[in-house]
Amino acid sequence: MYKYTQEQLDSMKKVEATRQERLNNLFARMSADEKQKVLKENHPDYIDSAYEELKVGPNKGGKVLHELADLLQGRSRVLDMDLDLTKPDYDVDVLVIGGGGSGSCAAIEADNAGAKVMMVTKLRIGDANTMMAEGGIQAADKPNDSPAIHYLDAFGGGHFAAKPELLYKLVNDAPDCIKWLNELGVMFDKDKDGTMITTHGGGTSRKRMHACKDYSGAEIMRTLRDEVLNRGIPVVDFTSAIELIKDVEGKVAGAVLLNMETKEIKIARAKTVVIATGGAGRLHYQGFPTSNHYGATADGLVLGYRAGAKLLYADTLQYHPTGVAEPTQIFGALVTEKVRSLGAQLVNKDGEAFVYSLETRDVTASSIIRECRQRDNGIKTTDGEGVWLDTPMIEMIGGEGTIEKRIPAMLRMFGKYGIDIRKEPILVYPTLHYQNGGLDISADGMTTNVPNLFVAGEAVGGIHGRNRLMGNSLLDIIVFGRNAGKSVGKVYKNVELKELTLDHVKAFDKELKDAGLNPTKLSPQLLPNYTIQKDI
Amino acid sequence: MEKMVNVFLFGKKYEVPASLTIMTAMEYAGYQLVRGCGCRNGFCGACATIYRIKGDKELKACLACQTQVEDNMYVATLPFFPLVKQVYDIEKVTPSQQIMMQLYPEIYACIGCNACTKSCTQDLNVMQYIAYAQRGDHEKCAEESFDCVMCGVCSSRCPAGISHPQVAELSRRIYGKYIAPETQHLLDRVKEIEDGKYVELIETLMNKPIEELKELYNNREIEK
Ligand SMILES: Cc1cc2nc3c(=O)[nH]c(=O)nc-3n(C[C@H](O)[C@H](O)[C@H](O)COP(=O)(O)OP(=O)(O)OC[C@H]3O[C@@H](n4cnc5c(N)ncnc54)[C@H](O)[C@@H]3O)c2cc1C
Ligand code: FES
C-alpha cells in the first residue's frame, strides 16, 4: 500500500462514495463558449508573460516561449570549431536525423527507393517518444467512419488551424499506414474475426483508436527498429546533429555530427536531409514536468531555424491532462488517455466530477488546472497538487480483468509503488507532452523554403493545427515519415551538390549580434541537465 | 528533513534522498547520464541495472528509472549487452518452427535454469516464452513476451547464450503478420481510398468557409 497522506486518504473515500452515482450520470460536455472560457483563463498557452518575441530569423517578430527563444537564438557550437568540410566522414544520399518512429519510416521508404541512407540518433534507435506512446493510433477504417469524418474531428480539435493539404494527407493515408504496419508484423488488438478493437480518444466522434494494449508505440517502434536493422540501414547511435550544412547554392547538404560520449566531431555530406528529431518536453516549458523521453529538446527546430526554415505554431504546446501527480518517483509520467477512454472519470477532492472525461486535451487539462487553481478543489501532493482519476470505474464498466488486459503498463507502473489501480483511484495533473508546432512543410514533406530539407514527425508544425488529438501523432509519424522517405527517394537522384559551407551559421550569428543579442547558451540543447552543478 | 539513504554506485558510497529512483539518485550524485537513460519511464529498456542489498544473497535486476533506492543498495548499470539479432526478410519467412531452428538454434540449448524469468525487469515468464518459441508456437510466444522492453537482463543471466528479446521479437512479427486474423474492414477501406472514393467528400470540406466548418464540428454526431 502506498503511503498516502491522511488528507489524500480522506478524499479518496469521498471518491469511492460517489462512484456509482457518477457512473450513472455522466458529466455533460461543454459548449463551444464554455470551452473558450476555460482555455483562455487556464491554458498555459495563454500566459503572455511566458512568451517573448523572436528578434532574428525567419519568424522574426513571432512569439515563442522563453525557453525556446533562448535556444533558437542561442550560440552555435560550430562557431568555435575549425572544420574541414571538404573531406566528409560520411557521404550519403539521405541523412535521417533522429531514430524514432518518423525517422525509421523515412529510412525504410528511402531504402525501398534505392537510396543510400544513414540514420544518426542522439541515444539509441528507439530511445524516443515513439517508444512511449501508450494509447493508440487513429485511422478511419470502420464502416461507420470515413476519412472525411476524421478530417473534421482533427480540424476542429486543432482549432481550425491545421494546414488543409497536410491534414488531408494525414486522414486519407491513415488506413494504408495501419495496413503497412500490420504487414510489418505489428500486433494490433483485434477480435477473433480480425475486426480491430477500437475506442474513442479525446475529441473523436467515431471509435477509431487502434491500439496494441497500452504498449502501442513500443510495439510499433520495436517493429520498425527490427525492420531498419534487417535492411542493414546504418544507424550511427549516440550521435547528434548539431548543425546543418548547406552547399554554396543554398541547398541543404548534410550535417555536423557530435559523438555524445567521446565528443568527436564528424561531417556527413548528404544530398537530402530528413529532420525527425521529435519533441521538446525536456525543455520543461513554464516549469512543467514532462512525459517525454530524455532527448526531447527541440533540436530539430533549432537546426532548421538557423538554416532558414520557417516555424509554424511553435508557440503552442500540448499539456497532457493526466500526468502522474503522485507518487513522486514517477511525477510527470504519462497516464494514457486510454484510461479515460475505458471509462475512468476525473474527480475533485470532494468526489465530484467536474469535466466530461473525453473533451479535447487542451480543454481537459485547462479544466484540471481550473479545478485546482481557481476553485481550490485539488488535492495536495508531494510535488504540488492534483485531482483524482477514478480507475476502478474501468472494471465496473468493462468487467473484471479489463485493466490487466487493456492497460498492463499502467497497472505495472503504479503497482511498483504499491498502488493497485483496479481498486484505488490515482492522482494526476497536466504534464508537458507534445510540441504542436514545428517546422513548416508542404505536402511532399519538404520545408517551404530550404531546398532538400525535409521534416517528419513531431518536429513538423501545421499537421494538427494548434492542438493535436490523441492517436493522430503516432499516425502522423507513419504517414509523414513514409511520405518524406518516398519524397527524398525521388529527389536525391537529381541533386548535384556544390561546395559545402557553414556560412549560414555565421550569418545567423551576425544577425544576432546586430540585434543586440550576444548569446552564450549553446544550442541545440541535446540533453537536459539534472545533475547538481558543481563548479570545479 | 528528508530521509536519506546510502547507495553504492559502482561501489562508491553516496548519500541520497530515499524518495529517489536509482536513475535520479545517480543524477543527484552528479552523473550526467548519456548511456543507460532513454525514455525515463519504463518503456525503452535503456536503463537495465543489477543490484544487491548488502548482506542479501540474491542478485536483483531492475529498470533504474522505475526503481526506488534502498539503504545499502549496491548498484551496477548494464547500459549495453551484446544481444544477437539475426537478420531476416519478413516477407520471406514462414510462420513455422523451422525459422527458429534456422535463426536462433541456441534456444534448444536452454537448460531450464529459469534465471531469465527470475531476472526479468518486467516480471515476464521468459523461460516459458522461450519454450513456446522452441515449439514454434508463435502466438503464445508473442502473447507471453508482449510487455518485453528488450533491456537484455535475461540474456546476461543465461548460461546458454540465448538472446531472448530478439527471439520474441521475431515471434511477435511473425504472429502479427502471418497468424493474427486478417482485418477485412481495413482492406476494404484501403481499396475504397485507392479508388478515390473520399476525395470529393474531403475536398468539399476543405473548401468550406471556417464558420460553416465550426457549425458542422460543433453539431457533429458522436458515436456512443
Ligand atoms: C509518453 C507519451 C505517450 C504518447 N502517447 C501517444 C499516443 O497514444 N498516441 C499518439 O498518437 N501519440 C502519442 N504520443 C506522441 C507520439 O508518441 C510522438 O509525438 C511521436 O512518437 C514522435 O515521433 P517522432 O519520430 O517525431 O519523434 P521521437 O520518437 O521522439 O524520435 C526522435 C528521435 O530523434 C532523436 N534526436 C533528437 N534530437 C536529435 C539530434 N540533434 N540529433 C540526432 N538525433 C536526435 C531523439 O533522441 C529520438 O530518438 C505520446 C508521446 C509520449 C511522450
Ligand atoms: S530509461 Fe527507458 S526503461 Fe528506463
**Residue A535 in this model has a pLDDT that exceeds 90:** no
Pairwise CB contact (< 8 Å): A141 & B20: no
Question: pLDDT tens-digit profile of A163-187?
Answer: 999 999 999 999 999 999 999 999 9
Rounded to an integer, the average pLDDT of A254-260 is 98
pLDDT band at A111 (very low <50, low <70, confident <90, very high): very high
Active site residues of A: 320, 340
Instruction: Write the CB contacts of A137 (distance below 8 Å, at least 6 apart in sequence).
Output: A178, A209, A210, A211, A216, A220, A471, A474, A475, A478
Cβ within 8 Å, pair B40-A293: yes
Q: Enter the DSSP assignment of A291.
A: -
Q: How far apart are CA A327 and CA A440, in angstroms?
A: 39
Nearest residue in chain A measured CA to CA from B200: A148
Q: How far is the CA of A483 from the centre of ligand 1 (A)?
A: 17
The pLDDT of A238-261, averaged and rounded, is 98
CB-CB neighbors (< 8 A) of B85 in chain A = 226, 229
Q: Do B31 and A531 touch (CB under 8 A)?
A: yes
- Checking if the pLDDT of A495 tops 80, the result is yes
* Nearest one of A454, A449, A526, A38 to A272, comparing CA atoms: A454
Q: What is the model's pLDDT at position A533? A: 57
Which three-class secondary structure state does DSSP give residue A26? Answer: coil
| Nearest ligand for residue B77 CA | 2
Distance from CA of B83 to the nearest CA of A (A): 13
d(CA A57, CA A302): 11
Residue type, position A410, single letter: M
pLDDT for the residue numbered B2:
79
The predicted structure's pLDDT at residue A312: 98
Tens-digit pLDDT profile for residues B31-81 = 999 999 999 999 999 999 999 999 999 999 999 999 999 999 999 999 999
Atom of ligand 1 nearest to the CA of A337: 8
The alpha helices in B31-137, defined as continuous H runs, are 98-103, 115-119, 126-135
**Per-residue confidence (pLDDT) for residue B1, from 0 to 100:** 62
CA A471 to centroid of ligand 2, rounded, Å: 22
Q: Break chain B into its structural domains and give their ranges.
A: 4-77, 98-179, 187-213
Average pLDDT of each block of 10 consecutive residues along chain B (224 residues)? 91 96 96 96 97 96 96 96 97 95 97 97 97 97 97 97 98 98 98 97 95 96 93
Taking the CB of residue A174, how many other CB atoms lie within 10 A of it?
28
- For residues A32, A37, A42, A46, the Cα torsion angle rounded to the nearest 10 degrees is 90
Confidence of residue A536 (pLDDT cuts 50, 70, 90): low
Question: How many whole angstroms separate alpha carbon A456 and alpha carbon A445?
Answer: 7
Q: What is the Cα–Cα distance from B50 to B78, expressed in whole angstroms?
A: 7
CATH number of B4-77: 3.10.20.740
- Per-residue pLDDT, A279: 98
CATH class of A75-316+436-503: alpha beta
Which residues from B are below 8 Å from A156, CB to CB?
213-214, 217-218, 220
Q: Mean pLDDT throughout A473-489?
A: 98
Whether B95 lines ligand 2, by a CB cut-off of 6 Å, is no
pLDDT confidence of residue A135: 87
Angle between helices A216-230 and B164-174 (to 10 degrees): 100
Which overall architecture, per CATH, does domain A6-30+318-432 show? Alpha-Beta Complex (3.90)
pLDDT at A50 over 90: yes
- Its pTM stands at 0.96
- Residue A100: CB partners within 8 Å, gap ≥ 6? A121, A126, A128, A129, A130, A131, A221, A276, A278, A457, A477
Which amino acid, A99?
A: G
Q: Over the stretch A371-418, which tens digit does the pLDDT of each residue have?
A: 999 999 999 999 999 999 999 999 999 999 999 999 998 999 999 999
- Torsion sign, CA atoms B200, B222, A211, B175: negative
What pLDDT score was predicted for residue A339? 95
Rounded (10°) angle between helices B138-145 and B164-174: 120
CB contact at 8 A, A317 and A459:
no
Give the chain A residue whose CA is nearest to the CA of B191: A176
Q: List the strands of the sheet with B48-53, edge to edge.
A: B12-17, B4-9, B73-77, B48-53, B60-63
Give the pLDDT score at A202.
87
A-chain residues within 8 Å CB-CB of B222?
Answer: 205
Q: Return the ligand number nearest the Cα of A101.
A: 1
Probe site for chain B from A530, A534, A535 (most B CB atoms < 10 A):
A530
- Asked whether the predicted pLDDT for residue A123 surpasses 70, the reply is yes
Nearest to A43 by CA among A436, A417, A330: A436
Q: Are B149 and B122 in contact (CB under 8 A)?
A: yes
Query: From CA B87, how far away is CA B107, in angstroms rounded?
Result: 17
- What ipTM was estimated for this complex? 0.97
Per-residue pLDDT, averaged over A474-483, amounts to: 98
pLDDT tier at A1 (50, 70, 90 boundaries)?
Answer: confident
Where do the structural domains in chain A lie, given as residue ranges?
6-30+318-432, 75-316+436-503
**Model confidence at A230, in pLDDT bands (50, 70, 90)?**
very high
Q: Is B179 on the interface with A (CB under 8 A)?
A: no
Decide whether A6-30+318-432 matches A75-316+436-503 in CATH topology: no
pLDDT in tens, A342-370: 999 999 999 999 999 999 899 999 999 99
- Cβ–ligand 1 contact at A157 (below 6 Å): no
Pick the more confident residue, A439 or A360.
A439
